Amino acid sequence: MRTIQVLAIAFTIIGLTLGYWTLANTEGESGSTASAMGLVLLFVVFPCCGISALLSITSSISLLSSKVRDEFYFKGKFWVGILSINSFLSIGYMFLSIYLAYVWFTTV
pLDDT band at 3 (very low <50, low <70, confident <90, very high): very high
Q: Where are the domains of the chain?
A: 2-107
Over residues 7-20, the mean pLDDT reads: 95
pTM of the model: 0.85
Q: Is the pLDDT of residue 87 over 90?
A: yes
Alpha helices in the chain (DSSP H): 2-23, 31-40, 46-62, 66-71, 77-107
Kindly report the average pLDDT of the chain as a whole number.
Answer: 91
Whole-angstrom distance, CA of residue 95 vs CA of residue 61:
15
Provide the angle, in degrees to the nearest 10, between the axes of the packed helices 46-62 and 2-23: 150
DSSP state, residue 27: T
Over residues 62-76, the mean pLDDT reads: 92
